[in-house]
Amino acid sequence: MTSPQQTSPKNKQTGQGRKKLLGAGLAVLSITLLLGAAAAGIYGARKALFVANPRLVLREIRVSGAGYWKEHPDALADAAGLRIGTGLFSLDLRKIRRRILDVPNVDSCSVVRVLPDLLVIKVTERVPRAVLGRAGSPWVVDGESVVMSRAQVMDTYRRLPVITGVPTANVKAGTAMKELKSAMELVMMTVRSFPDITVYQISLADPRKLDVLLRYRRFPVCRVAIPVKNRGMSFMLLTLQSAIINARRTGETRNHYDLSYDGRVVIH
């Protein structure tokens, strides 16, 4: 007669371990399924409440800020790819903002949804500081030398200096022209720190110097040569102001000031 087979303690432990692993796996699977169902439910609820809600659609685009785009909101909406009637929560605000920042005369912007049907775009525009090429040129540049179409910039209500001596045949809006750096440094220095100096024209024909037509206060218009490599534009303008005042006090009638001599001014 054969005796019944006995299960060793080791085999019992192995079987119990497998049952625990199976139970843990089933528990993890159940939790994963529950989480997936919950996520699907949340997505469906979000879509029903926001994305697909017929009450939350774009009906108005409001552009705030001072400048060209405040007066031309439809054109900015077209540039941003916006369409009236689009679901308000279907709009990708980051993508819209990137498109607006690609507009050459836009310096910064923010885009905000306002329930139930409004999109507010706040735009800070680049300020035109000089005309490029000639007085009637279609191109202007800001203080960072970024080229803009003259037809799409804010009105500064002031005469802008003209920068000549640079090729404009292949100029493209939105391009930063590095070759204008020294000229725009001069322009911005007069705007910020030397309001008594009015710049009319800057020639870059000679890459070693700026050939400038300007007026200091109510003195006659003078021609000034400023080396591109200098001690600093502020120092150059302070030196020029002193030279103009001294020249008028002594009855000097010549009006060509050359600042190319290491801080000394030669009058021609």
Q: What is the DSSP string of 30-59?
A: HHHHHHHHHHHHHHHHHIIIIIT-TTSB--
Q: What is residue 14's predicted lDDT score, i.e. its pLDDT? A: 59
Q: What is residue 151's predicted lDDT score, i.e. its pLDDT? A: 93
For 18-33, the pLDDT digits (tens) are 666 666 666 666 566 5
Query: Alpha carbon 199 to chain centroid distance?
Result: 26
* DSSP run (H or E) holding 181: helix 181-192
Confidence of residue 17 (pLDDT cuts 50, 70, 90): low
Q: How many CB atoms lie within 10 A of CB 222?
A: 19
Domain membership of residue 19 (yes or no) is: no
Q: Are residues 111 and 136 in the same domain?
A: no
Q: Tell me the torsion sign for CA atoms 227, 211, 155, 70.
A: negative
For 86-129, the pLDDT digits (tens) are 999 999 999 999 999 999 999 999 999 999 999 999 999 999 99
Q: What is residue 126's predicted lDDT score, i.e. its pLDDT? A: 96
* DSSP run (H or E) holding 12: helix 9-46
For 179-221, the pLDDT digits (tens) are 999 999 999 999 999 999 999 999 999 999 999 999 999 999 9
Q: What is residue 39's predicted lDDT score, i.e. its pLDDT? A: 52
**Which residues share a beta bridge with 63?**
121
Q: How far apart are CA 125 and CA 146, in angstroms?
A: 12
Q: Are residues 143 and 262 in the same domain?
A: yes
Q: What is residue 175's predicted lDDT score, i.e. its pLDDT? A: 94
Q: Are residues 174 and 208 in the same domain?
A: yes
Q: Are residues 71 and 200 in the same domain?
A: no
Q: What is residue 198's predicted lDDT score, i.e. its pLDDT? A: 97
- Bridge-based pairing of strands 60-64 and 106-114 is unpaired
Residue 46 amino acid letter: R
Mean pLDDT on 225-246: 94
- Residue whose token pair is 């993508």: 95
Q: How far apart are CA 204 and CA 132, in angstroms?
A: 11
For 52-90, the pLDDT digits (tens) are 688 899 999 999 998 999 999 999 999 999 999 999 999
* DSSP run (H or E) holding 261: strand 256-261
Task: Say which range, 21-35, 136-150, 222-236, has the weakest mean pLDDT.
Answer: 21-35
Confidence of residue 42 (pLDDT cuts 50, 70, 90): very low
Q: Say what the pTM is.
A: 0.78
Q: Are residues 187 and 93 in the same domain?
A: no
- Bridge-based pairing of strands 162-164 and 197-203 is parallel
Name residues whose C-beta falls within 8 Å of residue 192's C-beta, 6 or more positions apart in sequence: none
Q: Are residues 104 and 190 in the same domain?
A: no
Q: Which domain holds residue 66?
A: 60-125
Confidence of residue 43 (pLDDT cuts 50, 70, 90): very low
Domain membership of residue 162 (yes or no) is: yes
Mean pLDDT of the residues in the chain:
87
Domain boundary pick from 109, 125, 141? 125
**Domains in the chain, number:** 2
Confidence of residue 157 (pLDDT cuts 50, 70, 90): low
Q: Are residues 203 and 252 in the same domain?
A: yes
Q: Are residues 149 and 258 in the same domain?
A: yes
Q: Are residues 205 and 241 in the same domain?
A: yes
Is the pLDDT at 36 greater than 80? The verdict is: no
Domain boundary pick from 125, 146, 164? 125
